Amino acid sequence: MKWSKYFIPTLKEVPVGTEAVSHQLLLRAGLVQMLTSGVYSYLPLGLKVLNRVENIIREEMNNAGAHELLMPCLHPIELWKKTGRDQVLDGIMIKFKNNRGHDMCLGPTHEEIITDLVRQFVQSYRQLPVTLYQIQTKFRDELRTRFGIVRASEFIMKDAYSFDRDVDGLRKSYQIMFDAYKRIFSRMELDVAVIAADSGAMGGDVSHEFMIGAPIGEDAVVSCPSCKAQSGVTENQDQGKTCPQCGKGILTKQSALELGHIFQLGTKYSSALAAEYIDEDGKRNPMIMGCYGIGVSRVVAAIIEKYNDDKGIKWPASVAPFDVEILPIAKSADDEIMKLSEKFYSELRAKGCDVLMDDRSESAGRKFNDADLIGIPLRITIGQRNLVEGKVEIKLRQTGEVMLVEVNDVLMKIMELKK
């Protein structure tokens, strides 16, 4: 992609009213644009990052045996009344009457909807277990939206639901999702703490949160430097107390941001919505459910919170919007520098690299600043000073390492670094 033909509206100044580093950089790097409080458009660069995050999630969910579907955003309130959650979530549900006078809402989550769907298609124990998931927009009328896309009124979530015939089956499905989540966050280079948690309004008696340390986190985790145990904050587990696991380390507390939450729901929804299967003896039984969520858009913000410096974003390669940026420092469109840039551009794309070339007629300073701001992992800078010696500069955005490479070795070096 040529920068001059792409849409990357970068900003020099920090937008007014932004607290979180991720919020500032999402706006400054031209990734998102706020329509109104808690509601954002994903611009082309931001959508590419979002798609790469979603693709990692899809790959791991599919590999774990889950099947993707897409459910409606519009829900009839009558389904929510059957579980009583129309009242439990009343404060955040966006409700309205449609033109036919029916009470509706925009889906804040989908437990009721998936349970009703499975109820209609799964009747026999032979059809179980089954795990279904979607990646979709959710709507919650948050009283206080915060930190850009971290706590928004409209956000993207991956939600999965497992259906089993018994508790042992649920535990197996839960462990499969637990392991898939660890792989997902590892591929995004997010070192998450897995914390036993309260199930809250979701129901069930077992749940775990996947947390990442972040200054904007609305939760907290305590860690032991001795045995490396991590947990939520309790009366017995807090800053400065002795670790109850090993009895040696002194616990330290850190703000943390929840990225994922998984639940063993049991029969809360299947009983309320009559989602039953017939066993070998012809007896009807409620299906045993699990629920597994990841805040997809929140993950994007979390990555930026972890990977940034005073110049901009430092994307991990797995989620970066482009693999390589080519930055020519040229005086005209016809000189040797631009010709070499075009050559690298074509050759790298032929090798399967996603390449951004800054072909704008901007100053070198503006190009360097924008390159650091948007944070592409590998940057090839082609300037006259190095080119007279037959070399170009390759910079690794994550580490700041700079290397001079012979022109003929650039393609090989980039492919080596990209692995």
Task: Supply the Cα-derived Rg of the chain in whole angstroms.
Answer: 25
Question: Where in the chain is CATH 3.40.50.800?
Answer: 324-418
Q: Which CATH superfamily hosts domain 3-213+256-309?
A: Bira Bifunctional Protein; Domain 2 (3.30.930.10)
Per mean pLDDT, which range of 235-249, 272-286, 404-418 is the poorest?
A: 235-249
* pLDDT (0 to 100) of residue 197: 80
* pLDDT (0 to 100) of residue 65: 98
| 419 exposure class (CB count in 10 Å sphere: 0-12, 13-18, 19+) | exposed
Query: What value does the mean pLDDT of the chain take?
Result: 95
How far is Cα 172 from Cα 183, in angstroms, rounded to an integer? Answer: 17
* pLDDT (0 to 100) of residue 201: 62
Residue 331 has pLDDT above 80, yes or no: no
184 and 198 in contact (C-beta within 8 Å)?
A: no
* pLDDT (0 to 100) of residue 202: 63
**What is the CATH architecture of 324-418?**
3-Layer(aba) Sandwich (3.40)
In sequence order, what are the beta bridge partners of 253?
222
Residue 200 has pLDDT above 70, yes or no: no
Number of H helices, E strands in the chain: 12, 23
Nearest by Cα to 146 from 53, 45, 34: 34
Over residues 11-52, the pLDDT tens digits come to 999 999 899 999 999 999 999 999 999 999 999 999 999 999
* pLDDT (0 to 100) of residue 419: 78
Residue 199 has pLDDT above 70, yes or no: no
How far is Cα 393 from Cα 386, in angstroms, rounded to an integer? Answer: 8
Q: Provide the strand spans (E) within 200-283.
A: 206-213, 219-223, 230-232, 252-266, 276-278
CA quadruple 405, 406, 407, 413: dihedral sign: negative
Over residues 204-229, the pLDDT tens digits come to 678 999 999 999 998 999 999 999 88
Over residues 264-284, the pLDDT tens digits come to 999 999 999 999 999 999 999
Q: Which residue has the higher pLDDT, 203 or 79?
A: 79
* pLDDT (0 to 100) of residue 381: 97
How far is Cα 276 from Cα 120, in angstroms, rounded to an integer? Answer: 10
Query: Does residue 99 sit in helix, strand or coil?
Result: coil
Question: Where in the chain is CATH 3.30.930.10?
Answer: 3-213+256-309
Over residues 90-102, the pLDDT tens digits come to 999 999 999 999 9
Residue 333 has pLDDT above 70, yes or no: no
* pLDDT (0 to 100) of residue 164: 98
59 and 158 in contact (C-beta within 8 Å)?
A: no
Average pLDDT over residues 371-376: 98
Residue 234 has pLDDT above 90, yes or no: no
Phi, psi (deg, nearest 5) at residue 232: -75, 165
Over residues 158-182, the pLDDT tens digits come to 999 999 999 999 999 999 999 999 9
Residue 332 has pLDDT above 80, yes or no: no
* pLDDT (0 to 100) of residue 231: 86
Instruction: Categorize the per-residue pLDDT at 230 as very low, low, confident or very high, splitting at 50, 70 and 90.
Output: confident
Supply 174's token pair: 């839960």
* pLDDT (0 to 100) of residue 349: 97
